[in-house]
């Protein structure tokens, strides 16, 4: 039997989603939730017509895997279609925006690493957020 204290697990059902940037994002395995030190992982659900506002990560690469549905990723303005069971690595500093492509909900698993030196330095928005009044999710450790 696995020692859960040494190998913590987190269920999507345990994490309230945020809509702040668009879609439904759940930050699952993070410095705040499990003491991660190398990066963090989460999920994103985009319904038809939804998008994640353009942003970039100055310190982290982002790895995305589309579980179901399809998304159009705009990487520094260039469009890249990602279908189910396809993945992409978005290099640090690349502006990126995700849009649900088609009539089916898209479900994406993502990982960012390495961590920024401070949580507030991990993410820079470059367009207005769809829901700016929603609270910022707590991902990082102490500031």
Average pLDDT over residues 18-33: 94
Q: Which residue has the higher pLDDT, 92 or 119?
A: 92
Token digits of residue 137: 């999710």
pLDDT over 70 (residue 133): yes
Domain boundaries along the sequence of the chain: 17-30+41-125
pLDDT tens string 41-86 = 999 999 999 999 999 999 999 999 999 999 999 999 999 999 999 9
Q: Which residue has the higher pLDDT, 102 or 72?
A: 72
Q: Which residue has the higher pLDDT, 5 or 30?
A: 30
pLDDT at position 141 is: 54
Tell me the CATH architecture of domain 17-30+41-125: Sandwich (2.60)
pLDDT at position 26 is: 95
Q: What is the distance between the alpha carbons of residues 18 and 132, in angstroms, rounded to a whole number?
A: 11
pLDDT at position 142 is: 46
Q: CB of 48 within 8 A of CB of 103? A: yes
pLDDT at position 127 is: 96
Q: What is the distance between the alpha carbons of residues 65 and 127, in angstroms, rounded to a whole number?
A: 24
Q: What is the distance between the alpha carbons of residues 105 and 124, in angstroms, rounded to a whole number?
A: 26
* 56: number of Cβ within 10 Å: 18
3-state secondary structure of 119: helix
């Amino acid at each position: 039997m696995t020692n859960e204290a040494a190998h913590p697990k987190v269920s999507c059902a345990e994490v309230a989603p945020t809509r702040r940037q668009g879609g439904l994002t759940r930050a699952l395995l993070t410095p705040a939730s499990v003491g991660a030190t190398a990066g963090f992982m989460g999920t994103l659900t985009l319904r038809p017509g939804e998008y994640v506002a353009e942003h970039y990560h100055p310190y982290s690469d982002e790895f995305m895997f589309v579980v179901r549905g399809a998304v159009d990723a705009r990487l520094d303005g260039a469009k890249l279609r990602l279908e189910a069971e396809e993945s992409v690595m978005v290099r640090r500093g690349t502006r990126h925006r995700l849009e649900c492509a088609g009539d089916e909900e898209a479900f994406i698993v993502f990982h960012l690493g390495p961590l920024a030196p401070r949580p507030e330095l991990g993410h820079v928005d470059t367009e207005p957020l769809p829901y700016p009044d929603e609270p910022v999710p707590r991902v990082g450790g102490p500031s």
